[in-house]
Amino acid sequence: MRPNERRQSGQSDLFRARLDQIVDLDHPVVKLAAAIDWRFLEEQFGAVYTDAPGRPPLPTRLMAGLAILKHMHDLSDEVLCERRVENPYYQLFCGEEFFCHQLPFDRSSLTRWRQRMGEDKLVALIQESLAVATRMGAAKPADFRQVVIDTTVQEKAIAFPTDAKLMHRARERLVRLAQARGVTLRQSYVRVGKIALIRHQRYAHAKQFKRATRALRSIRTMLGRVIRDITRKIVGRPELADVFALPLSRARRVKDQRQRGRKLYSLHAPEVECIGKGKAHKPYEFGVKVSVATPLNRCRGGQFVAHVKALPGNPYDGHTLAAVLPDIESTIGAGLERIVTDAGYKGHNAPKHQRFKVYVAGQKRGLTAAIKRAFRRRSAVEPTIGHLKNEHRMGRNHLAGRAGDAANAVLAAVGYNFGLLLRWLALLLRIVLVVLAAPSHSNQTIVAS
């Protein structure tokens, strides 16, 4: 069943206060809510629902508005729900007509809505943010035909992975699952396993690596004994074999992984990858690579994000353009005229019709004065990436799975773009107030006479 979308009735209620009589109608949040084309979002997000009978989903404006506010103000789901109850501007932005004293949905509804939409549908929020910027004069359509592309790492919310901590955690998960399922173990190593982990960490900190290696060997031995004990106990019990299949597989993988090859860096997030970006202060980051595209020249309203895409598998930067460039054109609704990248995109695989539109930093041939100026603007994408990470929840992703990686990256760009629009509206409001407060020339003449 499709959502029952909200429409303004204009009616009054004797026992409830209308929001438009409470809030300041010149507030930037109110202006932004009026500028967004909610009908477009209803059409895009409504396509994932069917007309089958059942309980109707929550309105599109409510869920889309909450997603925008969450990443625009860097809020968790729990804090967002609290703010939504106490803030009338949040309620007006999400389509409420009267002030609500209770939350009309459950917090888990936000998770289910993100999972149902996915990356493909959430891109509509980026499209709408760029459309609103164009309608309000914060950007021009031509601004998005020349872009700068770079990649960064969206880190996952996991502990720093070490062999000792991973094996200790794998043993704890197996022991806990065995106790929950009534499987009696010969020995759980709860006490001695924790002591061995502490001993290993202390030896490693003191650079006593031979002793640390012996402690690590003990932790590996304990994990192997628990794995073999559980394997013997569940033989002939298919109902337990299915329950223990995935935990045992990951525990064996953690126990046997060595220096080379694909590794498991987190038991609860096996999709995490180890990515080295050449940073002196952080040689390795654990998460997923993300491509970010911004306009080459700054728009009037700021450096908007034209496209964001998660790239699982840690691909080479130059081999991402074949998938990224068509997506950018689909998002902005126009063809690209110039693409500027850093030196990490040498040997790129851009489509044939766009191959000579890509300019890689460091190339020497075919450079005109305009292209040299474009190279000097290439670093404009770096502060944008910093804002996405520090202020819009891309710095540490708490959403689960590869789908969560992709959705969080897109929503971070959505929150960043709408944050720029909010500041643009606040600037316009200040300009209007200054103009109205300034004395006119005729009034000055009358006072002087």
> Residue 444: what pLDDT?
57
Between CA 23 and CA 34 the distance in angstroms is: 14
> Residue 169: what pLDDT?
94
Between CA 155 and CA 290 the distance in angstroms is: 10
> Residue 441: what pLDDT?
59
> Per-residue pLDDT for the chain (449 aa), expressed as one digit of tens each?
677 777 777 677 777 788 888 888 888 999 999 999 988 988 888 888 877 777 788 888 889 999 999 999 999 999 999 999 988 999 899 888 888 888 888 889 999 989 998 888 999 999 999 999 999 988 999 999 999 999 999 999 999 999 999 999 999 999 999 999 988 999 999 999 999 999 999 999 999 999 999 999 999 999 999 999 999 998 888 889 899 999 999 999 999 988 777 889 999 999 999 888 888 888 889 999 999 999 999 999 889 999 999 999 989 988 999 999 999 999 888 888 899 998 888 988 888 888 888 888 888 887 889 889 989 999 999 999 999 999 999 999 999 989 999 999 999 999 999 999 999 898 888 887 788 887 765 555 544 54
Between CA 139 and CA 130 the distance in angstroms is: 8
Q: How far is CA 81 from CA 66, 67, 103, 119, in A?
A: 9, 11, 7, 23
Between CA 82 and CA 76 the distance in angstroms is: 10
> Residue 58: what pLDDT?
86
Which residue, 119, 47, 71, 142, is CA-closest to 332? 142
- The amino acid occupying position 157 is A
Q: Which positions ≥6 away from 52 have C-beta within 8 Å?
A: 1
> Residue 96: what pLDDT?
86
Residue 255 CB-half CA count within 13 A: 20
> Residue 366: what pLDDT?
76
Do residues 154 and 408 lie in contact, with contact meaning Cβ atoms separated by under 8 Å? yes
